[in-house]
Amino acid sequence: MIGIFDSGVGGMTVARAIEQLLPDLPYVYFGDLAHSPYGSKSPEMLIEYACRNTDFLLKQGAKIIVIACNSAASAASGALAARYSLPLIDVISPAVQAAARLSQNSRIGLIGTRATVNSGVYATRLQEIRPDCRIFSQACPLLVPLVEEGWLDRRETKTIVRSYLRPLRNRQIDTLILGCTHYPLLTGIIGPRIGKRVRIVSSSGEVARHLKELLDARPSLYAALRAPGLANRYYVSDLPAPVGSLAAAIFGRPVHLEKVNV
Annotated ligand binding at 252? The verdict is: no
Angle of helix 187-194 versus helix 155-170 axis, rounded to 10: 40
Cα separation, 169 vs 111, in Å, equals 12
The tally of CA atoms less than 13 A away on the side-chain side of residue 193 is 17
- What contacts 96, CB < 8 A, 6 or more positions away? 122, 125, 126, 129, 177
Biggest alpha carbon–alpha carbon distance for the chain: 51
Count the Cβ atoms, other than its own, within 10 Å of residue 7. 31
Cα separation, 17 vs 43, in Å, equals 28
Q: Which residues are tagged catalytic? A: 69, 180
Cα separation, 218 vs 224, in Å, equals 10
Residues at the binding site for substrate are 6-7, 38-39, 70-71, 181-182
